[in-house]
Amino acid sequence: MPFYVPTEGADAWRKFLAEPDKQWRNGYSAKSLAECWENARGIPAEVGALLEAIAPAPRLLFAFPEHKVALPGSSRGESQNDIFAFVRAGPSTVAVMIEGKVDESFDRQLTDWLRNASPGKIERLSYLASSLGLDAASIPSTIHYQLLHRTVSGLIEADRYKADAAAMIVHSFSPTRKWFEAFAAFCGLLGIEAEPGRLYQAKTQTSRPLYLGWASGKPARPI
């Protein structure tokens, strides 16, 4: 239903998880992300610092935790994004998808995701690639599928809300920046030589200007 109510703290985010008993734990990304964003009462400083590359003093207009975006190719082809944040940056609005991480990977690489692939999966990959200005056949099999659909989710919602730009930001709470290399490899497809703590604009042709970045938050508490 397209009706939403304000949260009453980080614990309110738990019920939106696919597997709350498994995912809602200290040291895991879901809980770390919720606590960080709720405590910030807006955009956390490390994420705001990235968005200042678009315009100074970015402001959070609204944010939805565990936001689902439909993808073509299957009735179950949804991207469940950790946070969809709609941000005002100077004169522009930006649809931002936030992907939280601690030690978790970006799920499966394409080589595994495409094993015995259905026609729906092939259709979905073609759609994701073309949305990013890429040829599906040229995407290395080592690229993580999650990075593709999280990024395109930002473009889809930017188009739907008529935002001026889209962004996908990995909000990491790993002290060792675990899985940054996988993120950097994905950015390379879009003409970006990524470094942590910076926001970059994709050099491929997309429906809106597209930005990617890696924000390092305070390391999560050990389990």
Q: What pLDDT is stored for residue 134 in this prediction?
A: 98
Q: What confidence tens digit (pLDDT) does each residue in 157-181 have? A: 999 999 999 999 999 999 999 999 9
Q: What pLDDT is stored for residue 23 in this prediction?
A: 87
Q: Is the dihedral of CA 1, 146, 216, 49 positive or negative?
A: negative
Q: What confidence tens digit (pLDDT) does each residue in 109-163 have? A: 999 999 999 999 999 999 999 999 999 999 999 999 999 999 999 999 999 999 9
- d(C-alpha 7, C-alpha 210), whole Å: 29
From first CA to last CA, the distance across the chain in angstroms is: 35
* Position with higher pLDDT, 187 vs 21: 187
* Position with higher pLDDT, 98 vs 6: 98
Q: What confidence tens digit (pLDDT) does each residue in 63-90 have? A: 999 999 999 876 677 899 999 999 999 9
- d(C-alpha 106, C-alpha 65), whole Å: 18
pTM of the model: 0.94
Does the pLDDT value for residue 223 go beyond 60? Answer: no
Q: What pLDDT is stored for residue 221 in this prediction?
A: 53
Closest CA to 212 of 78, 97, 60: 97
Q: What pLDDT is stored for residue 28 in this prediction?
A: 83
Does the pLDDT value for residue 44 go beyond 80? Answer: yes
Q: What pLDDT is stored for residue 218 in this prediction?
A: 84
- d(C-alpha 71, C-alpha 82), whole Å: 16
Closest CA to 52 of 193, 178, 169, 185: 169
Q: What pLDDT is stored for residue 2 in this prediction?
A: 77
Mean pLDDT across the chain: 93
Q: What pLDDT is stored for residue 77 in this prediction?
A: 72
3-state SS of the chain is CCCCCCCCCHHHHHHHCCCHHHHCCCCCHHHHHHHHHHHHCCCCHHHHHHHCCCCCCCEEEEEEEEEEEECCCCCCCEEEEEEEEEEEECCEEEEEEEEEECCCCCCCEHHHHCCCCCHHHHHHHHHHHHHCCCCHHHCCCCCEHHHHHHHHHHHHHHHHHCCCEEEEEEEECCCCCCCHHHHHHHHHHCCCCCCCCCEEECCCCCCCCEEEEEEECCCCCCC
Q: What pLDDT is stored for residue 75 in this prediction?
A: 62
Q: What pLDDT is stored for residue 188 in this prediction?
A: 98
Q: What pLDDT is stored for residue 84 in this prediction?
A: 98
